[in-house]
């Protein structure tokens, strides 16, 4: 395995030589000092070499990522060298050209993690098969063949998402005058329905009480413990919690304002903070308040805590993956606020940052029902306190 230091110290020789990194990839050091990344592979019994770029323009990490992308294509029956040639010769109105144009136009509406999944899904499961085809000539059976390949490996949900993305590309092509119809519209029902996997969540009050007491007894770091304690009180998405920045909080007004750039729907979001939530934040503020992140990584204060930190803590407390997840705090709050505390569904949906519209079909703004949501969040925090103190929830806890 290579390191950047090894590469930096590699001196040119009279003849080219290789520095192997593994899995077929190596750095070819030339007599003039240039360094070329290459990948040797076999396809249909033939030995081939793929250029991965030039160092230092392409770092060791980036070269490894390109290597893995190429190997994924090979495993899927696609020759990466031929795919690259096809891309260079692809017509202006090819499916891939139109798809990338669509993606670049709308990617700002999605968080990075979501946009990355979209483009990688298209690159892995769609472009190799119909990427070079004229977008206006692709027929439903041809698209179905592409989706069947995804279905065949058991990735039913991915097949549905790929069909959805293709439909968005085709509709964009229609709007820009490069296609006349969307072939994905004819494929409804052609792919088996996805069973769907909901995030594991605890929603029964008695079990919630046990979870809260387990969190109180957690013996890990203060940062992880505070994040665990705050999670049920704010029930935001795990990524929104772990990437929380101190600049987003106003503890005096008890509000957390998450910018649109960090929200899944690319809309700013306001989280009213209960007294209990503010107390937790004030507890950790002397420790991390001088930095950017409320919950920094244990390795570097310049990065947020790991996306696995909350999940790992739940596992340490004895909760299995089919019992509780970091995302499960959202389902917990949604269920209990509605079914036990009797809160209005539209207030709950607003607080979950779900798309909510009024009777006229207009989207509510982020400040909609804010005073009521402040009250709801305090009611929720007080209810959790009562559960923590008594494993048997009190009766008649519904409020209008």
Active site includes 160?
A: no
Q: Work out the average pLDDT over 330-357.
A: 83
pLDDT digits (tens, 9 = 90+) for 290-304: 999 999 998 888 899
Listed range (104-108, 199-203, 327-331, 335-339) with the worst mean pLDDT: 199-203
For residue 270, the tally of other CB atoms under 10 A from its CB is 19
DSSP string, 217-273: T--S-HHHHHHHHHHHHH---HHHHHT-BGGGEETTTTEEEE-GGGSTTSS-EEEE-
C-alpha separations of 307 from 294, 295, 313 in Å: 14, 11, 11
Q: How many CA atoms lie within 13 A of 288 on its CB side?
A: 29
Structure-derived torsion over alpha carbons of residues 391, 396, 399, 400, reported in degrees to the nearest 10: 150
Judge contact between 196 and 190, C-beta under 8 A.
Answer: no
**For residue 253, pLDDT beyond 80:** yes
Question: Which position has the higher pLDDT, 114 or 87?
Answer: 114
The strand pairing partners of 36, in sequence order, are 28, 54
The strand pairing partners of 357, in sequence order, are 363
Question: Which CATH number does 4-75 carry?
Answer: 3.30.160.390
H helices within the chain, ranges in order? 4-9, 60-75, 80-88, 95-106, 112-125, 127-130, 140-152, 156-175, 205-216, 222-234, 238-242, 275-288, 309-316, 328-339, 345-351, 370-389
Question: Which position has the higher pLDDT, 87 or 19?
Answer: 19
Q: Which of 114, 199, 321, 354 is catalytic?
A: 354
**For residue 374, pLDDT beyond 80:** yes
Active site includes 374?
A: no
Active site includes 264?
A: yes
Confidence of residue 145 (pLDDT cuts 50, 70, 90): very high
Active site includes 364?
A: yes
Q: Mean pLDDT in the chain?
A: 86
Q: Which of 35, 327, 334, 373 is catalytic?
A: 327
Q: Which of 121, 178, 330, 334 is catalytic?
A: 330
Angle at the Cα of 311 (from 310 to 317), degrees rounded to 5? 90
Query: What integer pLDDT is reported at residue 397 of this predicted model?
Result: 44
Spell out the domain ranges in the chain: 4-75, 95-187, 205-389
Q: Which of 64, 178, 237, 373 is catalytic?
A: 237
Active site includes 237?
A: yes
Class of domain 95-187: mainly alpha
The strand pairing partners of 47, in sequence order, are 42
pLDDT digits (tens, 9 = 90+) for 49-72: 999 999 988 999 989 999 998 888
Query: What integer pLDDT is reported at residue 78 of this predicted model?
Result: 78
List, in order, residues 6 or more apart from 207 with CB less than 8 Å away. Answer: none
Q: Which of 264, 303, 344, 375 is catalytic?
A: 264
For residue 13, the tally of other CB atoms under 10 A from its CB is 10
pLDDT digits (tens, 9 = 90+) for 202-239: 888 888 888 898 898 888 899 999 999 999 999 998 88
DSSP string, 37-67: EEEEEEETTEEEEEEEEEETTS-HHHHHHHH
**For residue 393, pLDDT beyond 50:** no
The strand pairing partners of 255, in sequence order, are 250, 272
Active site includes 242?
A: no
Q: Which of 207, 218, 266, 364 is catalytic?
A: 364
Say how far residue 270 (Cα) sits from the centre of its chain. 21
**For residue 254, pLDDT beyond 50:** yes
The answer to whether domain 205-389 has CATH 3.30.360.10 is no
Query: What integer pLDDT is reported at residue 395 of this predicted model?
Result: 42
CA distance 138 to 99: 13
């Amino acid at each position: 395995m290579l390191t950047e230091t090894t590469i930096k110290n590699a001196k040119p020789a009279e003849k080219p030589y290789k520095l192997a990194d593994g899995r077929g990839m190596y750095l070819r050091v030339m007599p003039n000092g240039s360094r070329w990344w290459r990948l040797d592979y076999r396809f249909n019994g033939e030995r081939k070499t793929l250029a991965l770029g030039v160092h230092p323009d392409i770092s060791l990490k980036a070269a490894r990522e390109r290597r893995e992308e190429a190997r994924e294509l090979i495993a899927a029956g696609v020759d990466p060298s031929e795919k690259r040639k096809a891309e260079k010769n692809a017509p202006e109105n090819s499916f891939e050209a139109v798809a990338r144009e669509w993606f670049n136009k709308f990617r700002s509406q999605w968080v990075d993690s979501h946009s990355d999944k979209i483009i990688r899904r298209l690159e892995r499961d769609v472009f190799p098969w119909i990427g070079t085809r004229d977008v206006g000539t692709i027929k439903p059976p041809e698209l179905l063949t592409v989706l069947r390949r995804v279905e065949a490996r058991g990735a039913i949900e991915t097949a549905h998402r790929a069909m959805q993305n293709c439909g968005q590309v085709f509709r964009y092509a229609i709007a820009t005058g490069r296609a006349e119809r969307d072939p994905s519209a004819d494929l409804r029902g052609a792919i088996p329905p996805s069973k769907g996997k909901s995030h594991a969540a605890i929603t029964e009050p008695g079990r919630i009480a046990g979870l809260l007491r387990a969190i109180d007894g957690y013996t890990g770091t203060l940062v992880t413990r505070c994040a665990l304690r705050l999670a049920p009180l704010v029930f935001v998405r795990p990524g929104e919690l772990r990437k929380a920045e101190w600049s987003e909080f106003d503890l005096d007004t008890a509000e957390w304002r998450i910018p649109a750039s960090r929200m899944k729907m690319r809309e700013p979001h306001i989280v009213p903070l209960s007294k209990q939530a503010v107390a937790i934040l004030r507890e950790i503020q002397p420790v991390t308040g001088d930095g950017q992140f409320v919950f920094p990584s244990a390795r570097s204060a310049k990065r947020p805590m790991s996306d696995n930190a909350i999940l790992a803590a739940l596992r340490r407390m004895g909760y299995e993956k089919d019992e509780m997840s970091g995302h499960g705090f959202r389902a917990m709050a949604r269920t209990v606020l509605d079914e036990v505390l009797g809160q209005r569904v539209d207030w709950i949906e607003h607080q979950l940052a779900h798309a909510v519209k009024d009777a006229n079909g207009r989207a509510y703004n982020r400040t909609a029902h804010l005073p009521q949501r402040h009250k709801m969040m305090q009611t929720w925090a007080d209810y959790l306190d009562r559960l923590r103190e008594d494993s048997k929830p009190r009766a008649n806890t519904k409020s209008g």
